[in-house]
Amino acid sequence: KLQFLYFIGNMKTSAGLASAAAVVCMLGRLVSKPFEPVGSKLESVENGLNVASFNVLCRSFERRSYGTYVKEEYRTWAYRKALIQKLLPGLGCDLLAIQEAEIGTFEEDFDFMAEAGFAAIKPYDKEAEKGRVLAKPAVFYDESKMTLIWHNYRSRVLLAAFKLNDSDKVVYLANCHFEGHPMKGAARFQQLKSALKYTQNHQKQIGIPHDKANLIVCGDFNSDQYGSVCTALREGGLKADFKDNWNPDEVVTPKDFEHPFKFKDVYPKPVPTFLGSRPVPSCIDFIFTTDTFSVAATRTPLTASQLGSSVLEGGAPNSWHPSDHFPVAASLTFN
C-alpha cells in the first residue's frame, strides 16, 4: 500500500496529488490495526553494527512560526522529548546519527542517552558562541562496542571515525543535514564533496586504502533519490552536464567529479521518511554505505497504519511521533 501511495504521490500532476490525498485519507479511516509508535527494534548482528539516522526536529520548534498544523500540546519540547526518549534507545542501534540537535541545550535535551549507555559527539558551530540558537548534527555511539578516534565539524556535516573494540576495523560516518532550500542542489553537492574530501584525507593519514574503507553517509539530504547528492554517491561522481531534478536550470558542477568509493543505498527502493502536513510522505532521509558492508536488515520508517494515523492527526509531529521526519535504520555486516 505504501509503495502504491508513494508512486501516486510522486506524480507531477495536481490530479495525481489529489488522488493520493484521497487514497491516504481513506486509508487513515480504514486503519483499525493497532500499531506500536516506537516501531520495530533491530536485532544485534555478529560481525557488524546497527546504524540509524533521524532528524529529531529542533527543540525550538515549539516557538517557531512554521508547523502551525501541529496541536500546541504536541509542539512542546517536554512532550516531544518523552517520545524521543522511547524512540532512540528503542531502535536497537550501536551508532545513531541525529540532525537538528540544539547546541545550547544538548546535554539537557538528550540526558537519557547517557543513561542508556551512549557516548556523544556534541553538536557544534562557532556561531553558537555568539548566543545564536543553532541546531546541528550530533552522534551517539555505544562505547562498549567502539571508540571514537577522530571527528571533524563541517558546516552541514559531522564527520567521525570509530575503531571497533573487538577488532582492528575502523568505521567512518558522515552525518549530514544538507542545504534545505529545494532549489540549491549545487550547495548540497558541494557539502557532500567537502565531506568526502576530509574523510579521504584522514583515511590517507592512518593508512586505510579507499577500497577498504568502511564508510557510512547518512542523514537528512533535503533532496530525493534523483538529486545531486544521491546521484553522486550512487554513480561514483557527477557529470558536468548533470541537472538536479528540483532545479534543472542550475549548474551543479562546472566539471566532472569522481570519488573512489562504491556506495549503495541500504534500502533497495525509496521509503517514506518525511511527512510534515502533507498527506503523502516523501523520501529525503538516507543511509548509504560503501560495498565493504552488506545489509542484513532494514527498519521500516513509516508503516501503513502509522501513515493513516498521522494523516488523521493532520501530519507529523503528532500525539505519538515527535518529528516531521521518521528514522531510517539498518543492520550492517562487514564483507
Roughly how many angstroms between the first and final C-alpha of the chain, as a whole number? Answer: 33
Chain centroid, CA 251 distance in Å:
26
For residue 244, the 8-state DSSP code is B
Torsional sign, CA 20, 22, 23, 28: positive
**Percentages (nearest 5) of helix, strand, coil residues in the chain:** 30, 25, 40
If one compares 308 and 142, the residue with the highest pLDDT of the two is 142
Q: Is it the case that residue 6 has pLDDT exceeding 70?
A: no
Residue 104 phi, psi dihedral angles, 5° rounding: -70, -25
**pLDDT tens readout for residues 268-287:** 999 999 998 878 899 999 99
User: What are residue 216's DSSP bridge partners?
Assistant: 173, 289
CA angle 319, 44, 322 (to 5 degrees): 15
C-alpha cell at 212: 577498504
C-alpha cell at 59: 527543540
pLDDT exceeds cutoff 90 at 7: no
- Cα–Cα separations (whole angstroms), residue 323 to 57, 66, 135, 327: 5, 13, 14, 9
pLDDT tens profile 93-142: 999 999 999 999 999 999 999 999 999 999 999 887 777 889 999 999 99
